[in-house]
Structure 1
């Protein structure tokens, strides 16, 4: 895996802002200082997952960290993976969040990214977008105001969350667009001991995924979510699309074999069942 790329600095996901106004206010602020205070995740599996993808957690102002991460990861993906420029949903995210467009991507100075580099850069963009999705769901949950005003505020949060989640699915698709042999020979071994301190490497180790699922569960139980709206349906559709993409990636790289986490001989089938359970959170 590429070890020379800079660390991606993210806030602990349970400290993210409760709405996008904080991100909009962070636009144009000074760059995140390189000596921003670190935050250590207490779960060793979550810490190992971060380390693999070169993510560092910081207790610096969360909105500034996320705004910077979205711009930096998108710029890196567009610089190394030219087809990312043809993904309009990335620009939809920037517009929905009120962020200015990313700096013009630097021209490619090397061959397009290989499988391991795609895996790394695409996942890092995915992590930033998952955090943005969490902020959107939080905005929907914390929307205030009586009657129509409150519903409209909640819908804006849910709609923005749906856009961010669709962009995350696009990032995953780009991250996995390489031959299966690269996964078998280079990537999968790098996620196993002795390269990893803990066996069973899995996306379920992601702290950002954990907090997003908690937020979706809370949103699904809320009165406003149960009222039903176009934005709420869009969020559910985006969640379905995300899990379908995960199943597709798993099936292409693993076939009907087990995942590194183990527990089932058919990893895609298990992931499909998990996706169905997640979708029920929003029923």
Structure 2
């Protein structure tokens, strides 16, 4: 089965989006009501329209960023960002859940963490909380499909984070403490879900990576790299809004800080598992170990931008 293309806004479009508070909140006590946390999530998002048409966007991405999009089958469009995200979730998440059903090394706790964050995203995308009966798409186990399909989870999660940071800015401007707390808690849920997504996207053998995944990326571009990911670059820059959060929310900020560390560590572990102590495809310095850069320079940079590099005064 082929990975389907997703249509999403340009990352900075979220900061002009019209914001709406969730009308309904999914009750996490119902997470396992369908027997499998991700299956229930997939059923929920099928209520959204997956085939809406959006106008093409005048892309501001550079060539490398467009190349990254094209590898993971992501197209950019103009229009209401929340509607676009809702449609993308309806298209991608049932396939992600069906892929997990073909076999996964993730624990039930990890799958619940992933589903929890994505349910919170569905709340903000204004998707009803019911989980109607829905037929699961048929997917056969294939590492290349998993690599690309589950990478689309990162696009969904990061776009959700960008939206929440936009809502947070508005909330801080209005000094609305209850909404600030809810946004920070949901942001932490999404960040924790992204940690699981790293493990999931790479849930196959090192042999599969060497024989299928790396050659496929190299064929797309000899210097292919996650550094080309425009949404992640926008997210890291946008984390600066967390510096404005009052110290009253220290517990939520600590949780976000821990989740950031765990996410970068998960990425580093994936690198070590597949390529060992070597440089990335895009690195101009063969002596620079990818995993060390992720655990060192990149996580420190992100925490400095977010104001989380040291205890808050």
- Give the alignment's TM-score, normalised by structure 2: 0.77
Q: Which residue in 2 is equivalent to 1:200?
A: 223
Q: Which deviations, in whole Å up to 9, do the C-alpha atoms of 1:77-102 show, x marking residues without a partner?
A: 11122157941234323543423356
CA contact (8 A) 1:29 1:64 kept: no
Does the alignment pair 1:109 with 2:130? no
Does the alignment pair 1:121 with 2:143? no
CA contact (8 A) 2:115 2:193 kept: no
CA positional deviation for 1:5: 2.8
The size of the alignment, in residue pairs, is: 272
Does the alignment pair 1:221 with 2:243? yes
Paired residue secondary structure (2:171): coil
| Alignment match of 2:211 (pick from 171, 175, 185) | 185
CA contact (8 A) 2:117 2:192 kept: no
Q: Which residue in 2 is equivalent to 1:271?
A: 294
Does the alignment pair 1:235 with 2:256? yes
CA contact (8 A) 2:9 2:77 kept: yes
Q: Which residue in 1 is equivalent to 2:71?
A: 52
Q: Which residue in 1 is equivalent to 2:20?
A: 21
Q: Which residue in 2 is equivalent to 1:252?
A: 273
Q: Which deviations, in whole Å up to 9, do the C-alpha atoms of 1:32-65 show, x marking residues without a partner?
A: 4346434434310110000000000111221111
CA contact (8 A) 2:144 2:213 kept: yes
Q: Which residue in 2 is equivalent to 1:176?
A: 202
| Cα distance change of structure 1 residues 121 and 268 upon mapping to structure 2, 3 Å threshold | same
In structure 2, C-alpha distance between the alignment counterparts of 1:23 and 1:127, rounded to whole Å: 21
Q: Which residue in 1 is equivalent to 2:40?
A: none
| Cα distance change of structure 1 residues 157 and 95 upon mapping to structure 2, 3 Å threshold | same
In structure 1, C-alpha distance between the alignment counterparts of 2:89 and 2:137, rounded to whole Å: 20
RMSD: 2.8
CA positional deviation for 1:210: 0.9
Paired residue secondary structure (1:56): strand
Paired residue secondary structure (2:79): coil
Q: Which residue in 1 is equivalent to 2:82?
A: 63
In structure 1, C-alpha distance between the alignment counterparts of 2:82 and 2:220, rounded to whole Å: 31
CA positional deviation for 1:259: 0.7
CA contact (8 A) 2:181 2:249 kept: no
In structure 1, C-alpha distance between the alignment counterparts of 2:213 and 2:167, rounded to whole Å: 36
In structure 1, C-alpha distance between the alignment counterparts of 2:136 and 2:143, rounded to whole Å: 20
In structure 2, C-alpha distance between the alignment counterparts of 1:221 and 1:145, rounded to whole Å: 13
| Cα distance change of structure 1 residues 178 and 225 upon mapping to structure 2, 3 Å threshold | farther
In structure 2, C-alpha distance between the alignment counterparts of 1:39 and 1:22, rounded to whole Å: 29
Structure 1 residue ranges without an equivalent (≥5): none
Paired residue secondary structure (1:178): coil
Paired residue secondary structure (2:223): coil
Q: Which residue in 2 is equivalent to 1:135?
A: 163
In structure 2, C-alpha distance between the alignment counterparts of 1:103 and 1:40, rounded to whole Å: 37
Q: Which shifted more, 113-122 or 76-85?
A: 76-85
CA contact (8 A) 1:264 1:270 kept: no
| Cα distance change of structure 1 residues 226 and 76 upon mapping to structure 2, 3 Å threshold | same
| Cα distance change of structure 1 residues 23 and 119 upon mapping to structure 2, 3 Å threshold | farther
CA positional deviation for 1:269: 0.8
| Cα distance change of structure 1 residues 104 and 133 upon mapping to structure 2, 3 Å threshold | farther
CA positional deviation for 1:23: 7.3
